[in-house]
Chain A
């Protein structure tokens, strides 16, 4: 029984570690590079991190 219980605990810990690592990778963001100081008209920004953030939120 003791061995089974140890195995269950080890499995749970391993699952938590894997889930945590996946979450960190999924939500990691790029370093800040600068700021928009002037704008005339319209422009679009494609955030490199955004798809990962959305994917992490959706899961």
Chain B
């Protein structure tokens, strides 16, 4: 996979910033903890960009597959994490969802599978965000077509083997190096507390090239 002159190998414990783009190689998996409450597992050969609006974070999945697990206990009322694909928007408030983008640039297909959903997962074509489809656990939908004319298909029940594959997609391979997410969440919440002084909070060290 060609490396852009402005890219760098990703490492465990790296901070990621809004508008950063991540690209995984073959047989590679990355997990990001966003905002201390959304775990995004990026599967092999995927490309995504981190984005953020004033009240919600979202990721743009350009190609490949991701699994997004929300820690509902840490979500505030109105919080939503969104996944944008080339032709769909997926709103998640407390769930495990798997999203896969395939097909050509002119005719992408976004497959969305709700594995768990304490609140329905809302899926809409990007060209018509008001036309939402609600997914409950073990349901799936495909949004097909170019961005300006994409349409959501019918909601399907997920077969047991498909559900198992979706759960596996959210899991890490045994050889993955990892750090404790609860520890990271605890530290970030402590740093966010108003009585704790923060060192120029959250800016990237200048040493990174």
Contacts and interface: CB of A to CB of B under 8 A. Distances in A.
Interface of A: 29-51, 53-54
A38 B204 CA distance: 19
Contact of B28 (A30, A41, A51): A41
B182 to A, nearest CB: 10
A2 B38 CA distance: 63
Interface in B157-209: 172-173, 175-179, 181, 184, 201-204, 206, 208-209
Interface of B: 1, 3-4, 6-36, 38-39, 41-42, 44, 50, 52, 57, 172-173, 175-179, 181, 184, 201-204, 206, 208-209
A31 B202 contact: yes
A44 to B, nearest CB: 4
A29 B176 contact: no
A54 to B, nearest CB: 8
B29 A48 contact: no
17 contacts: A31-B18, A31-B52, A32-B202, A33-B17, A35-B33, A36-B10, A37-B32, A37-B181, A37-B184, A38-B178, A43-B25, A44-B1, A45-B10, A45-B14, A45-B20, A46-B20, A47-B208
Contact of A36 (B25, B32, B52, B202): B32
Contacts of A33: 16-18, 20, 34-35, 50, 52, 57
Given A36-B11, A43-B10, A43-B22, A49 B28 contact: no
B29 A39 contact: yes
